[in-house]
Amino acid sequence: MIEITRLRKQFGRTTVLNDISLQIGRGDRIALIGPNGAGKTTLIRSILGQYVVNGELTIFGKEPRQHREEILDRVGYVPQLPPPIQMSVRELVHFSASISSRSTVEEIGRQAEALGLDIDRNSRKSFQKLSGGMKQKLLIALALAGKPDVLIMDEPAANLDPQARQTFFLRLLQAMTETTMLLSSHRVDEISGLVNRIIEMDHGRVIQDEVIDAAILGETMLHCRVVLTRPHEAADRLFAEWNFSKVNGEPVYEGGFIGTERLRFLTSVSHFANHIKELSIN
């Protein structure tokens, strides 16, 4: 679906993407991770045809700058920061629906409602005047309403409250059987349950491209023991959420989780990395 061969992008003398080669197929659900400046946003923008690049990049077999309307009609995009659009919510919804051949005003309304945003109630408000969470919900609704074949999201849930975040990820789970997803995020724990492949970038290169095979350990119950250097209230709460038990009142936690949850578990305990004395998973 997306074919990238020896992709390079330079800004002046700085190489931002360095010899990237990737094949992204239908149904791939990718977590694009990496530190700031790793090249994630540049890669996303290159896929969207917004940069002139060296190397080869095709989506649906076509070059995105040459066939941008045809390609982008099948791509949904949610930016990290909502742009300061002055249009009213109603105008933006109608504009988006009129530009896309796959989206409709009604479908945008349905998607927004599912995320907890009442478009009719906010239709006269300027997009710019909405709260951060409302803006993000609307942008997600606009992207999902077009039933995209490829969904690209840059930190999509950053401004959402926990409930909307849960609904949003549930919506993605419902949509993901047919949709190829590329999610750039700093919070791997949030999207780990959604993805089946992790691409890690650093200094413009892909340093890890791992397919998570659900078959391996996927259905197995894993037993885990974590020992911290000292008692920690937040850790108590976290392990309680995972149904772990505390051993003899000591900062020792034992419990289990299903194999597919291991990435999410490890990411969530990584917050206490400085306090972990011992960690074992069997």
Partner 1 sequence: MQTLLQVTLADFRESVRAKWFLLYSLIFGGAIVLLFVLGVTESRVLGFTGLSRLLITYIQLCVAILPIMILISTVRSVVGDRESNILEYFLSMPISLASYYWGKIFARFFLIFIPISLALGGAILWGRIKGLGVPWHVGGYYSLMLGILSWCFLGIGMFISANVRKQEWGLGLSILVWLVFLLFIDVILIGLMMQQQIRESVIVTIALLNPVMVFRTGAVLLFDPELTSMGPASYVILDNLGYGGFLAYTLLYPLALGWLFSWLGYLRFRRGDLV
Residue ranges binding partner 1 (CB under 8 A): 45, 48-52, 68-73, 75, 77, 79, 81, 83-87, 91, 95-96, 98-101, 126, 139
Least Å distance between CB 129 and partner 1? 11
CA angle 124, 169, 28 (to 5 degrees): 120
One-letter identity of residue 128: Q
Least Å distance between CB 74 and partner 1? 9
Q: Which is nearer to partner 1, 132 or 218 (CB)?
A: 132
Task: List, edge to edge, every strand of the sheet that includes 221-228.
Answer: 245-246, 252-258, 221-228, 276-281
Q: Which is nearer to partner 1, 34 or 82 (CB)?
A: 82
Pairing verdict, β 276-281 and 54-59: unpaired
* Cβ–Cβ < 8 Å for 222, 262: yes
Q: Which is nearer to partner 1, 135 or 264 (CB)?
A: 135
Enumerate residues 6+ apart whose C-beta is below 8 A from 185.
31, 32, 33, 155, 156, 157, 191
Closest by CA to 142, choosing from 77, 234, 236, is 77
Least Å distance between CB 265 and partner 1? 34
Q: Which is nearer to partner 1, 32 or 198 (CB)?
A: 32
Least Å distance between CB 86 and partner 1? 5
Least Å distance between CB 49 and partner 1? 8
Q: Which is nearer to partner 1, 42 or 192 (CB)?
A: 42
